[in-house]
């Protein structure tokens, strides 16, 4: 029988995402000036305050205060009335050197023998229900907030928006697991103060339904048929939302792992991404398993798949690879047989992952809001300025794990 499935997203101004973006900006700066940097950086943000903590092994020296302030200002926290402002907030750094006990398990004389930076299991997922092989509910939840942020920055059609926001989309699926329609949409957006709460709620509801939704439908026409007159809208359901961002809630790096991945579809190994250099398999192997899953579905091996890999700290070869096609295999093989072929196609040693996806480049700030997956792989130019005024410009390829560059190899291996 039909069923409902829900995914949520949060904006770049959500306190946890502010923390993620600061942590990943630090990663990019370290890698821009020293590609061999080993970094694990956590960020806490609260009223008027940023706390940086973590472990680093790098030749680069950073002005971490300036980096944090630049990120906060870019997000849009630029006014004292927000009680969190990039120009005036305090920034405290407790970053120290990485433990040599950990480092000795990762670095090897032969780089190909590089051990995993930690133990754990990582998951990648892909589905054919969208063009970017992402779960539809999450894709829509991200789209709503990406467009809402664009409206905020334009400051034209809606002028009262503040940076913090959340969305949630509930889809109805048919018996054969196909999305039929949008059942409900939840939008909570921070806003300037209004004279009347009743007038405020009416105005925000009118603008979200009358301005945001049409823009999303126009920008993503492939999803327009899912919108219908029966959608249940919950717009700022708690009422007033003036106090938000890090003043409303403390934010921490790594607390939005489901928003960052697949919106509750598939599975998650528990490890966050932001603030970690690619020697940490929590991040790099999660990217690699997404790449495997996406290429399997694109090649026609299955229409939905979950891929798991697991590691022991300091060991290069993974403990094992697991595949679940949810009964959608199209190649006459069971999931165990598919997993064995996957092992032969994709080298999952940490150093191989780093080199395959060019992960020792400063590519991480772009991942820290609106999900690490489902984005277009593209090459851009980025310029970084050191604490002493020196600058470096790098051409970097973003979201390399989203490329369908192994489809031919997969087809060949499976006889497709």
> Does 68 show up as a binding residue in the annotation?
no
CA–CA gap between residue 228 and residue 215 (Å, rounded): 15
User: How many angstroms separate the CA atoms of 209 and 185, rounded?
Assistant: 10
3-8+135-244 and 120-128+281-414 agree in CATH topology: yes
- Was 16 annotated as part of a binding site? yes
- Is 241 annotated in some ligand binding site? yes
Whether 342 shows a pLDDT value over 80: the answer reads yes
276 labeled binding residue? yes
343 annotated among ligand-binding-site residues: no
Residue 150, marked binder: no
Distance CA 189, CA 212 (A): 12
- Is residue 42 marked as binding? yes
Mean pLDDT across 123-147:
97
Instruction: Look at residue 116 in the predicted model and tell me its pLDDT.
Output: 82
Cα–Cα distance, 68 to 91 (Å, whole number): 8
Residues 294-310 have a mean pLDDT of 98
CB 162 within 8 Å of CB 13: yes
Q: pLDDT tens, 348-388? A: 999 999 999 999 999 999 999 999 999 999 999 999 998 88
pLDDT of residue 46: 97
55 is in an annotated binding site: yes
Higher pLDDT, residue 270 or 109? 270
| DSSP assignment of 339-360 | HHHHHHH---SHHHHHHHTTTT
What is the structure's pLDDT at 296?
98
Tens-digit pLDDT profile for residues 178-207: 999 999 999 999 999 998 989 999 999 999
Asked if 335 contacts 324 with a C-beta cutoff of 8 angstroms, the reply is yes
Residue with the larger pLDDT of the pair 393 and 96: 393
Per the CB < 8 A criterion, the answer to whether 411 and 300 are in contact is yes
Per residue in 216-225, pLDDT (tens digit) is: 999 889 889 9
Residue 294 is assigned to a ligand binding site: no
Q: Rounded CA gap, 26 and 20, in Å? A: 10
**pLDDT, tens digit, 9 for 90 and up, residues 71-124:** 999 999 999 999 999 999 999 999 988 655 555 556 655 666 677 878 899 999
Please check if 198 is assigned to a binding site. no
The C-alpha angle 95, 97, 100, rounded to 5 degrees, equals 150
Q: pLDDT value at position 117?
A: 75
CATH 3.30.360.10 corresponds to the domain 3-8+135-244 = no
- What pLDDT sits at residue 98? 64
Is residue 240 marked as binding? Answer: yes
- Is residue 98 part of an annotated ligand binding site? yes
Residue 38 assigned as binding residue: no
Residue 175 among known ligand-binding residues: no
Tell whether residue 159 is among the known ligand binding residues: no
Instruction: Say whether pLDDT at 44 is over 60.
Output: yes
Residue 146: its pLDDT value, please? 98
How high is the pLDDT of residue 112? 66
Domain boundaries, the chain: 3-8+135-244, 120-128+281-414
Query: What mean pLDDT value characterizes the chain?
Result: 94
Query: What is residue 110's predicted lDDT score, i.e. its pLDDT?
Result: 65
Q: Is 335 annotated as a binding residue?
A: no
Q: What percent of the chain has pLDDT over 70?
A: 96
Q: Which of 52-66, 102-116, 328-342 has the lowest mean pLDDT?
A: 102-116
By residue count, the chain amounts to 416
| CA gap 394, 107 in Å, rounded | 25
What CATH class is the domain 120-128+281-414?
Answer: alpha beta
Q: What are phi and psi of 102, to 5 degrees?
A: -75, -45
Q: What 8-state DSSP symbol labels residue 307?
A: E
Q: What is the pLDDT of residue 108?
A: 53
pLDDT at site 389: 82
The pLDDT value recorded for residue 100 is 55
């Amino acid at each position: 029988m039909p069923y409902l499935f829900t995914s949520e997203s949060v904006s770049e101004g959500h306190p946890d995402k502010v923390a993620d973006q600061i942590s990943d900006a630090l990663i990019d700066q370290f890698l821009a000036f020293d590609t061999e940097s080993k970094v694990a950086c956590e960020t806490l943000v609260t009223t008027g305050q940023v706390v940086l903590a973590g472990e680093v092994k790098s030749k680069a020296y950073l002005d971490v205060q300036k980096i944090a302030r630049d990120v906060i200002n870019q997000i849009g926290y630029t006014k004292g009335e927000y009680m969190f402002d990039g120009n005036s907030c305090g920034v405290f750094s407790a970053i120290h050197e990485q433990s040599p006990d950990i480092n000795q398990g990762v670095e090897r004389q032969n780089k190909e023998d590089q051990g995993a930076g930690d133990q754990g299991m990582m998951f990648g997922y892909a589905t054919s229900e969208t063009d970017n092989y992402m779960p539809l509910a999450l894709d829509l939840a991200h789209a709503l907030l990406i467009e809402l942020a664009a409206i905020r920055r334009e400051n034209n059609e809606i002028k009262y928006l503040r940076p913090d926001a959340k969305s949630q989309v509930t889809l109805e699926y048919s018996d054969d697991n196909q999305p039929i329609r949008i059942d409900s949409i939840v939008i909570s957006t921070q806003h300037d103060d209004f004279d009347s709460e009743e007038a405020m709620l009416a105005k925000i509801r009118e603008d979200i339904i009358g301005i945001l939704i049409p823009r999303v439908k126009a920008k993503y026409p492939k999803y327009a048929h899912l919108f219908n007159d029966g959608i249940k809208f919950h717009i700022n359901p708690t009422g007033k939302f003036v106090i938000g961002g890090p003043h409303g809630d403390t934010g921490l790096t790594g607390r939005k792992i489901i928003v960052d991945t697949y919106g509750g579809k598939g599975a998650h190994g528990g490890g966050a991404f932001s603030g970690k250099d690619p020697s940490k398999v929590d991040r790099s192997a999660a990217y690699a398993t997404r790449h495997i899953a996406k290429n399997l579905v694109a090649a026609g091996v299955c229409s939905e798949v979950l891929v798991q890999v697991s590691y022991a700290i300091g060991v290069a070869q993974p403990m094992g690879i697991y595949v679940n096609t949810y009964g959608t295999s199209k190649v006459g093989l069971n999931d165990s047989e598919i997993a064995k072929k996957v092992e032969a196609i994709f080298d999952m040693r940490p150093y191989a992952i780093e080199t395959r996806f060019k992960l020792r480049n400063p590519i991480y700030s772009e991942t820290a809001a609106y999900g690490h997956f489902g984005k277009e792989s593209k090459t851009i130019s980025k310029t970084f300025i050191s604490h002493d005024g020196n600058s470096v410009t790098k051409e970097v390829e973003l979201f390399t794990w989203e490329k369908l560059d192994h489809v031919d190899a997969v087809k060949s291996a499976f006889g497709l």
